[in-house]
Amino acid sequence: MAADWLGSLVSINCGVTLGVYQGEVSAVDQASQTISLKQPFHNGIKCPVPEVTFSAMDIKELKILEIPGSGQGGHPDFSSVGHNGRSAKGPVVPSSAPMAVPRKGSSSSRGPSQATPKKNGLKNGQMKTKDDECFGDGMEESLDTDFDFEGNLALFDKAAVFSQIEISERRNGARSRGTPNERTPSRYRHDENILEAEPIIYRQITVPQHGGKEYCTDSGLVVPSVPFEMHKRLISVAERYGLSLERRLEMAGVCASQMALTLLGGPNRLTPKNVHQRPTVALLCGPHVQGAQGISCGRHLANHEVHIILFLPNFVKMLESITNELTLFGKTDGKQVSSVKDLPDSPVDLVINCLDCHENAFLRDQQWYRAAVDWANQNRAPVLSIDPPVSSRELAVEAKWSLCLGLPLPLAEGAGRLYLCDIGIPRQVFQEVGINYHSPFGCKFVIPLHST
């Protein structure tokens, strides 16, 4: 009978689109095949209207949560309700709002996954709490007692568990992790390798002719110096295999410019927000290969928004390599001057010295050279020398840093801190000139060297 439904708490599933409704049955109309709920909840949220009516055609599933007077969920006779929502004897649910209609075989008893609802959300006439309004009536009250974390943790016997793990690993041939009471024989830093490895060989480069000085990298690898004649032969063999002068100039220019950018402040100085403080670099070059390396470096620095002033005196005859580098440099925003008088009067950020060459010491006697040296020594800016020569005489321009190519030369103390750059010489080229070589560069192209 339709009256048997009244007062029951039901849950009506109307599918994905309309959702799930819960509430107390207030009316059942057999003729129109509708069911009405009062004080309804929609998907756990209380509806703004006091009553909602559903049509049997919209109902996918109907569950009885509680029958009045029984104290527990039951299942009234749904045999009169057809699958299409029509009723043969009694009424069926559905509405203009989407809901679920009970079908034959649908379970109305509470299963283990269903929560037991309260009979009603009011106690002694008191107002519903906010939780009741949010989550609906048919929910059991949560437990009042707090979970005892300390007591539960005390039930865990860590020593016994670790003992079982150790026994199991030994049976399976696995390495034991040890128990908490065992002391660790040694501790490792986050960057140390805990796996056993072969001992490091720090002397991985040996040369047939020693230059008289030895250096080491930050990781302790020994890098010996070589005499200029052996260095010259190494470059000649590399050129014969295809490492042309143009390639070496480009590599030297890139490495020197990267080092200069770091000396100028790197990302702290060269940012789009700091364009009003572009660093200024004075580049002093002579008419030789070392001067061409400096011009290549100046081009790369100018491409990175560094203000470059290139000093190169006028000569009747220029090397082809210098002419080519000047053509490329002319396409940048760099400035070229041929007189020391056109160099800045105020200190610049960095001076790059490429005045000297390895084989022509007579350039030091020329007027332009002495004038450029005097300007550099008076400017009070730090000096970076690129590929400085080995000289028994005191260096005319005292440098704070010097950059060597491939392998270091035995430079004088006035060369400052020594750096080494990789210009791309293959390992077999070193071997052909009698050098047992393993690259000391690691992941970098420019590394610092320390005197031993």
What is the average pLDDT across 412-423? 92
Cβ neighbors of 399 (< 8 A, separation 6 or more) are: 353, 383, 384, 385, 388, 414, 415, 416
**Which of the given ranges, 82-96, 135-149, 192-206, 242-256, has the highest pLDDT on average?**
242-256
- For residue 174, what pLDDT band results from cuts at 50, 70 and 90? low
329-357 confidence digits (pLDDT tens): 999 999 999 999 999 999 999 999 999 99
Give the pLDDT score at 186: 60
CA-nearest of 347, 340, 396, 390 to 373 is 396
- For residue 123, what pLDDT band results from cuts at 50, 70 and 90? very low
Residue 306 in tokens: 């560094």
- For residue 116, what pLDDT band results from cuts at 50, 70 and 90? very low
- For residue 131, what pLDDT band results from cuts at 50, 70 and 90? low
Q: 68-72, 304-308, 385-389 — which is least confidently predicted?
A: 68-72
Give the pLDDT score at 109: 37
**Same topology for domains 2-135 and 214-451, yes or no?**
no
Give the pLDDT score at 138: 52
Give the pLDDT score at 328: 97
Tell how strand 446-451 and strand 214-216 pair up: antiparallel
Tell how strand 401-405 and strand 417-421 pair up: parallel
d(CA 320, CA 142): 89
Burial zone of 308 (CB within 10 Å; 0-12 exposed, 13-18 middle, 19+ buried): buried
Residue type, 357: C
- For residue 183, what pLDDT band results from cuts at 50, 70 and 90? very low
Question: What are the residue boundaries of the structural domains of the chain, listed by start?
Answer: 2-135, 214-451
Tell how strand 61-66 and strand 401-405 pair up: unpaired
Fold of 2-135: SH3 type barrels. (2.30.30)
Structure-token match 């590399």, residue found: 238
Hey, what's the torsion of the CAs at 179, 180, 186, 192, to 10 degrees? 90
Burial zone of 159 (CB within 10 Å; 0-12 exposed, 13-18 middle, 19+ buried): exposed
117, 140 in Cβ contact below 8 A? yes
424, 439 in Cβ contact below 8 A? no
Residue 164 in tokens: 């079982």
Does pLDDT of 189 surpass 80?
no
What is the average pLDDT across 114-131? 47
Fold of 214-451: Rossmann fold (3.40.50)
Q: 183-187, 383-387, 396-400 — which is least confidently predicted?
A: 183-187
- For residue 107, what pLDDT band results from cuts at 50, 70 and 90? very low
Q: How does DSSP classify residue 147? A: P
Q: Helix 245-263 to helix 289-303 angle, to the nearest 10 degrees? A: 50
How far does the chain reach from its first CA to its final CA, in angstroms? Answer: 104
Cβ neighbors of 387 (< 8 A, separation 6 or more) are: 252, 290, 293, 354, 358, 403, 404, 405
The whole-model pTM stands at: 0.58
255-283 confidence digits (pLDDT tens): 999 999 999 998 888 888 777 788 999 99
- For residue 146, what pLDDT band results from cuts at 50, 70 and 90? confident
Does pLDDT of 124 surpass 90?
no
| Residue 93 or 384, more confident | 384
235, 430 in Cβ contact below 8 A? no
Give the pLDDT score at 276: 72
d(CA 177, CA 159): 13
Give the pLDDT score at 56: 86
d(CA 255, CA 300): 10
